[in-house]
Amino acid sequence: MTDFIFPWFKDAWTAIHKNEKKPHALIFRGKEGIGKLDFAAKFSKSYLCHKPLSNHLPCEICSSCQWFPLTHPDFNHIAPIENEDDESSKRKTVRKKNIAIDQIRELSEYLELSAHQEKGKRIILIEPADTLNQAASNALLKILEEPPENTLFILVTSQLQKLLPTIRSRCQLLELPAPSFEEARSFLMSKKITHDENLLSLAGGSPFNVIKESENQLERETVTKLLSQGHNIDITKVNYAILTHGLDWVLNLIQKWVFDLLLNFHAQQSYYFKNEEKNIQFQIKQMNLEALLSYINELNDLKKIASHPINQELQLQNIFIKYKQIFEPS
């Protein structure tokens, strides 16, 4: 956690402290990789702090600040864990982690204990809240229906649509904006993270995605190279090591690529793959627009099941076969 608020969150920071109504539950929603967790942790620390500063930052001196986060008795961070019983965990590819029902049961027990401090404020941080599985969601809803006193729930997510509508309706929504490219760039520079401009575009301008993605360069290049072959893509030569980060990850990359195909078709420009623009413009000459649009729909549908324990290699093979067909004359 940093000791300052990221510049792109300053307005949200002011807004949340102007909030007169004291809700039981908040949702912090914003794009992936923009530092939402840092914001939520900073807010929690300041909320529990005994003497917050005039700009609402935590004092860093009081006992609450000293305890935060690991040994703070009134701060509970619920994050996804690996589920042993899950079929997918037996596979080599990335396992999907969920917030499970047992974690919410434990939370219930924790809430039954009285708050530790005199002021009695507690924070339950659930992050990312979109990883709550069905049973856990229902259990959380029960808690939110009769919220315990002096307890603030904070749900952090980039995928609000994955939360139960009944949970959403019980929370106050705070939108966390993404940084501008300039803000992201200077943030990465201040962290001494060298990156090329294209990676920032590919990460959709999210600085923490750049940090994460800078480690996946090899796999990213392999996927990009495959896609850039268009109709000449050789399905038999696909190296399935690209599934190291999960089918979800590969799908994301393909979705960005086809987005650029469409953007180039209509506006002769790229959004994510700026350095592949020439290549993409060459490809769209052979592209069938109708086939592309139905491929985009198929990818969206696949995305919904991409985290399920299915045969990921077979799925990916199909995705590439269909990709090839975009470039076939109809």
- Region binding Zn ion by CB under 5 A among candidate stretches 55-63, 223-231, 233-241, 293-301: 55-63
Q: What one-character-per-residue DSSP string does 34-61 give?
A: S-HHHHHHHHHHHHH-SS--TTS---S-
Task: Give the shortest CB-119-to-Zn ion separation in angstroms.
Answer: 12
What would the two tokens of residue 32 be? 């992936």
Task: Give the shortest CB-74-to-Zn ion separation in angstroms.
Answer: 13
Task: Give the shortest CB-49-to-Zn ion separation in angstroms.
Answer: 3
* Residue 27 or 65 with smaller CB distance to Zn ion: 65
Q: How far is CA 262 from CA 226, 241, 248, 288, in A?
A: 18, 28, 21, 11
- # residues contacting Zn ion (CB under 5 A): 5
Q: What is the rounded CA–CA span in Å between residue 230 and residue 162? A: 33
* Residue 116 or 185 with smaller CB distance to Zn ion: 116
| Site for Zn ion contains 78 (CB under 5 A) | no
Task: Give the shortest CB-267-to-Zn ion separation in angstroms.
Answer: 51
Site mask for Zn ion (CB under 5 A), range 56-75, x = bound: --xx--x--x----------
Site for Zn ion in 24-53 (CB under 5 A): 49
* Residue 3 or 301 with smaller CB distance to Zn ion: 3
Task: Give the shortest CB-114-to-Zn ion separation in angstroms.
Answer: 22
Q: Which long-range contacts (CB under 8 A, 24 or more apart) does 229-235 make?
A: 230/283, 230/286, 230/287, 230/324, 230/327, 231/286, 231/324, 231/327, 231/328, 233/320, 233/323, 233/324, 235/317, 235/320, 235/321, 235/324
The site for Zn ion (CB under 5 A) is made up of 49, 58-59, 62, 65
